[in-house]
A and B are shown apart, each in its own frame.
Chain A
Amino acid sequence: MKTIRLSIIGFGAVGQGVARVLRIKRDYLVRSGIDILVVAVTDSRGACIDQNGLDLKVVLQRKKESGTVATSNTSSLDVIKNTDHDLVIEATPTDIETGEPGSTHIFESFQHGRHVVTSNKGPLALQYKRLYNEAKKNGVMFRFEATVGGAMPILNLAQDILAGNRIISIEGILNGTCNYILSRMAEESLSYKHVLGEAQELGIAETDPTYDVEGIDTACKLVILANAIFGMDVAYNDVEVTGITNITSEALFLANVEKKVIRLIGEVEDGNKKIIRVAPRLVPKQHPLAVGGTLNVALLKTDIAGPICINGRGAGSIETASAILSDIIAICRKNT
């Protein structure tokens, strides 16, 4: 059994979820011939490093009690450059304008011969091709299932499981916050403002919800799908984006009369049409895309398998860690 040494860069909801999942799944992994040693964990204030493997329970506890994992002020970049390991989990915040600090972390990881698994959309939405080429040049793997649809295995489904199929188009709901707001507004005949406030209170929407409700988050995810699955070379600015801030409860009522719901739908289509857009759309209530609550859903049209639809939890600490774990395992299987 080969030991895979990894670092967790960024220890918020997702980073901590990964730590928890690695603990829960330790025996399972060992039985599958995978021995994972976490040699470093970082957050914005510093790092803890142990070449013999950190005790994740202790790290989680320290983060909870003191607000940081740091036992030294070594930066994330230092860890990536100077700590000997095989795989970097990049889980720092998404910045859609600069891609940082994620982009630098990922490029440096590649240049030091380390595989990368990330949940950070920023770098991918801004410079997918460069990242892809850099990984290839350095002979390392780059996986990012967690960036699109949380626990929903959309990238691996399209790229591995549906191997041999041409994916013609993908339509889906890729933002749980918007879906929650639109579902609630329709069910309770409430205004957008009211439901947004409620979602913020429940922790479903951020204090600054712009990124979600303006469709930016969905657009970033579409860019990732367009590049990774359809082989396009697009960035965030290529997406036509309309958010949900102007949706009225009257519009939802009128939709209901027609037995329809309104959902924020992201849509990528290859071929001569080449569509990549995010917009609120009318969806028949019986349609597989008409999921409610915070669920995410994706409908893939393929040339031989026909339509394939998956739905699941699009966010959450453990759920997102599930996607990261599947990427870690895929890398371990290829490299042991």
Chain B
Amino acid sequence: MIISMDLELKDIPGQLVHALIPLSDLGANIMSVIHHHDQPTPSGSIPVQVVIQLTNGRLDDIITDLEKNDIRVVRVGKKRLYEEVTVILIGHIVHNDMSDTIDQIDNTGFAEVVSISISMPGINEPSSASLVINAENKNKLIEAMNILKKVAKKKELLVIEPIEN
């Protein structure tokens, strides 16, 4: 799970360490820290944004520990999946068990279809759909894409992938 947190630290030396230690002690992988030293809040504390990766769900413990250290946790946003791709499918998408296509991605546990828009011009005409897929990281995203391509091939759907970057 990838989590972003907005914290507020007192403007005294050593506060950032107080914030980061409970994170790493509880097994979080710190992915990024942005320290807004130049933008203090009206009350004079310093906003800090951290993004962490947490493999076991101990978010509550982390928050408790942070607050024990006198650090205010302003906002916690869960963003479990980090890499995103949009693809377009063309073909008889709906008649070919659409939910199965989505399940095959969602069942991986590391990727999921987060949004889908379908355009169906007529009963016997091919539909078009754009799918947004999220995954834990780049490699998992490639893996998810490979699953999608395999399913699409079986169902005779055309997959339009993005160019690489």
Contacts and interface: CB of A to CB of B under 8 A. Distances in A.
Interface string A56-91: 000000000000000000000000000000000000
B126 interface: yes
Contacts of A251: 88, 90, 119, 128, 160
Given A254-B88, A262-B88, A283 B126 contact: no
Nearest to A287: B163
Contacts of B90: 246-248, 251
Interface stretch (A119-127, A274-282, A311-319): A274-282
Interface in B57-94: 86-88, 90-91
B4 interface: no
A246 B128 CA distance: 10
Interface in A237-257: 242, 246-248, 250-251, 253-255, 257
B163 A283 contact: yes
A233 interface: no
Interface in B125-165: 126-130, 158, 160-164
A248 B86 contact: no
A248 B128 contact: yes
Nearest to A248: B128
16 contacts: A248-B90, A248-B121, A250-B119, A250-B121, A251-B88, A251-B119, A255-B88, A258-B86, A258-B130, A260-B86, A262-B88, A265-B163, A280-B158, A281-B162, A282-B86, A287-B163
Q: Which 3 pairs of residues, A with B, have the shortest CB-CB distance?
A: A250-B119, A250-B128, A251-B128
Interface of B: 86-88, 90-91, 117, 119, 121, 126-130, 158, 160-164
